[in-house]
Amino acid sequence: MSFLEILAQPETWRLVSILCLGIFVQAAAGFAGGLVIVPLLLWAGYSIPEAQTSLLVATIPQNLWGVISFRDSLEPKRLVWPGAARLLFLPLGVLTLQWMESFSMMTLRQVVGAAVLTATLTTMLFRPRPRDQVDPMWSYLVFPLSGFLQGLVGMGGPPMVLWVQAHDWDTRRMRGFLFSMYLISLAPGIAVLAWFFGSRVIPPALIAAAAIPLLLVVTLVGLKVGTALGTQRLRRITMALLLLMGVAGLAAPWLSPV
């Protein structure tokens, strides 16, 4: 099938629509792009590897922009261990995902639903007190876990967000660090997924790449909406959406005949 034929398929536009929604949420609320995109793509009939690959490609411009915009607040020495730990454990997550592909789609929806629900509740309930120094033990847990979850279900952000929030950093430093972590793992993440799952992840990646101009427009709109509505109001709306999606994933056997 040619690329033009792929673009003519209804499934293609479902993928683009879901990517637009996730990128909009990410831009407006400042988080949750992967938590929105991956479960919705599963409900749309895509596999986890396909959903992950399209997500990674779709976020390339946003993460590049973030690193460039906040480069003055970055400390290269602080990026070495977190970035290396994520990259080291990412293939382990993908290897586990390859084993999980023997599960039914219903079970996979439940697994992703549980991941979304856990990440959302943890983000809502766990409010670390910002401090100048955080015990190094936490970094030895957070960044390997983040890399593993990134490879497993494409949701490696929540552990890092909580770790960052435990520091008394300003907003620029927090965002610069997170954008850097995401950017460091983009190319290796796409490469590992292509290595493990082959050519079937290529069409979603190409569709996401072709949609990047539209996603950039969606990002700008999301930033403006986020500014207009306020962070806290958007956070509440986003959390409610994620809770609904998490519960829907867990209840997949009762909500879908598939």
pLDDT at residue 258 greater than cutoff 50: no
Domain extent, residue 127, equals: 3-253
Average pLDDT, the chain: 85
The answer to whether residue 168 is domain-embedded is: yes
The answer to whether residue 108 is domain-embedded is: yes
Angstrom distance (rounded) from CA 96 to CA 113: 17
- Residue 212: band (very low, low, confident or very high) from pLDDT cuts 50, 70, 90: very high
pLDDT at residue 40 greater than cutoff 80: yes
**Poorest-confidence range of 6-10, 49-53, 92-96, 214-218?**
6-10
What pTM, to 2 d.p., does this model score? 0.87
| Segment 47-67, tens digit of pLDDT | 999 999 999 999 998 888 888
| Segment 106-132, tens digit of pLDDT | 888 888 888 888 888 887 787 778 887
Please state, for a pLDDT cut of 70, what percent of the chain lies above it. 91
The answer to whether residue 258 is domain-embedded is: no
What is the reported pLDDT for 255?
A: 64
Cα separations in angstroms, 210 against 5, 13, 14, 90, 230: 14, 12, 14, 26, 31
**100 CB burial (10 A radius; 0-12, 13-18, 19+):** middle
The answer to whether residue 54 is domain-embedded is: yes
pLDDT at residue 221 greater than cutoff 90: no
The answer to whether residue 165 is domain-embedded is: yes
The answer to whether residue 141 is domain-embedded is: yes
The answer to whether residue 212 is domain-embedded is: yes
**Poorest-confidence range of 76-80, 217-221, 238-242?**
238-242
Cα separations in angstroms, 103 against 86, 95, 162, 197: 26, 14, 31, 16
**Is the Cβ–Cβ distance between 19 and 224 less than 8 Å?**
no
What is the reported pLDDT for 4?
A: 60
pLDDT at residue 68 greater than cutoff 70: yes
Average pLDDT for 124-145: 84
Higher pLDDT, 225 or 57: 57
Count up the domains in the chain and report the number. Answer: 1
The answer to whether residue 25 is domain-embedded is: yes
| Segment 1-37, tens digit of pLDDT | 555 666 567 778 899 999 999 888 887 766 678 888 8
| Segment 197-208, tens digit of pLDDT | 998 999 999 999
Angstrom distance (rounded) from CA 147 to CA 174: 18
- Residue 133: band (very low, low, confident or very high) from pLDDT cuts 50, 70, 90: confident
